[in-house]
């Protein structure tokens, strides 16, 4: 790709690279539609920038050579799609014909995809040009971004920090300016955590709002806490344009299991006052002071703008984390996940997790019993990792998830809420820490269990005052997890601080509309 860029620069030496890279997606799309910019110029400008960003951060796994074929293809299309000429990066495990979907595991290195995933087909139909596949953590089940094949991805804002995961390559590439729009996936926060760590906007839709056909994962068939694909970008309008482009007849035709619900522009464009529930802690894993400050300042800005703010307390998060989330993924005691590491060297970032999961079930049970009086959170975590012993227990656990969703929706409706404002894990962790703190994702995990659309918007940055206040942080129990979190987020002055915005299932447009309001207000106060 470097050679292709060099040849293009020789042919067109007068390209205004910085001017193109600075354009917001909506403006860039408009210029491409009207013809004042060519898709070729935009593609090679972004490839050139992506080469620079990945050299610094190791975020691109491979460039997609077929992007040059797609460039020729769109120029022959009769109608220009909504994403005509827009270069798009995609996460490693989203299928693209001729490319590998490795999940950071060696056993998937020899099997290129035979066809595009449905999402890639729809992107191409809308005129987009998928040009890069981005790096992920080994097995995807981690929110650092490192594997033994392609190495560690760094946060472009601070190379001591991780970009988050598992869509960490996307986060780093977009935050570094090497992509204007990316597609990630999220099963516990994998879009929202990189967005938080890298200062981006990211949306986890309701599962199946976008097709998952042709998307690979190391462990398949976990349906009660489903994965979702979603967009990541520099602003909310970009997310909305992407969703509008993807929610089209082509997607509904290619994957009939996707509900045929087109994007509702009227809801996204509405300016009616909202009734907003809010909380700044889930009571299970209190976040650093700067993240709680972000919720408080956003709440105050929303209230001043005429919205109604209502206190909201999420129910039983420790129970949700252990009994509903972890037991779903480790129903078999972690055997299926650990089997994926057969023949693999375990990446250092995953060693704390793998070591814990390999402990025999009986030993886990005994350790949990011993630790319960001293470290109740770790004891419950170990019990959850033991999984389930019967099909009946599995069915009962799935019933508990449905019952919890019903209770949560009842609580939401009793307060007559439109949306909820809440914290998201951050600021960016120092490299190597996520594997030591899987339960810290409780803020994002909740909305995977509930299967609610949830998005992240940066609203501020870490200040010197935040860093001083962090020294007094005691967390939930002042235990080893709390002390590890304190170490993980230290040294983050100037890094992004974000909030999370949530709506009820299938209300992505309302979620985006709320995110846009938060974005506008944070920009207006100079916080972002």
- Could you give the CA distance from residue 512 to residue 519 in angstroms, rounded to a whole number? 10
Flag whether 140 is marked binding: yes
C-beta of residue 425 within 8 angstroms of C-beta of residue 444: yes
Beta strands in 254-373 (DSSP E): 275-278, 308-311
Flag whether 76 is marked binding: no
Flag whether 168 is marked binding: no
- Could you give the CA distance from residue 47 to residue 359 in angstroms, rounded to a whole number? 45
C-beta of residue 266 within 8 angstroms of C-beta of residue 510: no
The tally of CA atoms less than 13 A away on the side-chain side of residue 67 is: 26
CA dist 27 to 19, 24, 191, 511, Å? Answer: 12, 5, 24, 23
Output DSSP code: residue 320. Answer: I
Flag whether 100 is marked binding: no
CA dihedral for 478, 483, 485, 487, sign (positive or negative): positive
List residues bridging with 158 in a β-sheet: 155
List residues bridging with 35 in a β-sheet: none
List residues bridging with 233 in a β-sheet: 181, 201
Flag whether 166 is marked binding: yes
Q: Please list the active-site residues.
A: 91, 166, 190
Q: What is the number of other CB atoms lying within 10 angstroms of the CB of residue 237? A: 18
CA dist 18 to 41, 175, 177, 303, Å? Answer: 12, 15, 10, 38
Flag whether 366 is marked binding: no
C-beta of residue 204 within 8 angstroms of C-beta of residue 191: yes
Bond preceding residue 277 cis, omega within 30 of 0: no
Q: Are strands 146-147 and 151-152 parallel, antiparallel or unpaired?
A: antiparallel
Residues flagged as binding site for substrate: 140, 166, 187-190
Residues flagged as binding site: 140, 166, 187-190
């Amino acid at each position: 790709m470097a050679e292709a860029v060099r040849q293009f620069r020789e042919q067109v030496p007068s390209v205004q690279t910085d001017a193109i890279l600075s354009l917001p997606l909506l403006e860039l799309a408009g210029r491409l539609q009207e013809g004042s910019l060519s898709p070729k110029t935009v593609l090679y400008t972004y490839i050139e920038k992506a080469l620079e960003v990945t050299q610094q951060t190791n975020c691109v796994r491979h460039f997609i050579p077929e992007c040059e074929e797609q460039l020729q293809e769109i120029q022959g299309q009769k109608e220009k799609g909504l994403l005509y000429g827009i270069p798009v990066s995609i996460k490693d495990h989203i299928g693209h014909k001729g490319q590998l979907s490795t999940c950071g595991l060696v056993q998937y290195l020899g099997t290129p995809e035979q066809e595009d995933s449905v999402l890639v087909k729809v992107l191409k139909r809308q005129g987009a040009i998928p040009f890069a596949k981005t790096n992920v953590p080994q097995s995807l089940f981690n929110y650092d971004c490192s594997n033994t094949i392609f190495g560690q991805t760094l946060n472009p804002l601070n190379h001591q920090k991780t970009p988050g995961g598992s869509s960490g390559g996307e986060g780093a590439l977009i935050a570094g300016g090497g992509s204007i729009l990316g597609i990630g996936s999220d099963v516990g926060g994998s879009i929202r955590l990189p967005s938080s760590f890298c200062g981006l906007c990211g949306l986890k839709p309701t599962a199946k709002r976008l097709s998952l056909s042709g998307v690979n994962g190391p462990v398949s068939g976990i349906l009660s806490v489903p994965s979702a694909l979603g967009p990541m970008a520099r602003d909310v309008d970009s997310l909305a344009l992407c969703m509008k482009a993807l929610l089209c007849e082509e997607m509904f035709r290619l994957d009939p299991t996707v509900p045929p619900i087109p994007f509702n522009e009227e809801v996204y464009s509405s300016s009616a006052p909202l009734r907003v529930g809010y909380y700044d802690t889930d009571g299970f894993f209190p976040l650093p002071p700067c993240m709680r400050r972000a919720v408080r300042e956003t709440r105050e800005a929303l209230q001043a703008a005429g919205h109604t703010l209502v206190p909201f307390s999420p129910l039983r998060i420790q129970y949700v984390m252990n009994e509903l989330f972890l037991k779903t993924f480790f129903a078999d005691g972690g055997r299926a996940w650990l089997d994926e590491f057969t023949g693999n060297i375990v990446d250092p970032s995953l060693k704390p997790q793998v070591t814990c999961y390999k402990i025999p079930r009986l030993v886990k049970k005994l350790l949990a019993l011993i630790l319960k009086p001293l470290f109740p959170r770790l004891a419950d975590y170990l019990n959850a990792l033991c999984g389930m012993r019967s099909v009946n227990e599995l069915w009962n656990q799935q019933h508990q998830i449905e019952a919890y969703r019903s209770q949560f929706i009842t609580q939401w409706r009793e307060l007559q809420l439109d949306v909820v404002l809440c914290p998201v894990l951050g600021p960016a962790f120092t490299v190597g820490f996520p594997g030591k703190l899987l339960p810290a994702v409780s803020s994002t995990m909740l909305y995977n269990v509930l299967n609610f659309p949830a998005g992240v918007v940066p609203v501020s940055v870490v200040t010197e005052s935040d860093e001083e206040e962090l020294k007094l942080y005691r967390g939930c129990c002042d235990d080893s997890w709390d002390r590890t979190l304190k170490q993980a987020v230290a040294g983050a002055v100037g890094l992004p601080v974000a909030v999370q915005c949530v709506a009820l299932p299938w209300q992505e447009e309302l979620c985006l509309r709320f995110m846009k309001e938060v974005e506008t207000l944070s920009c207006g106060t100079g916080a972002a």
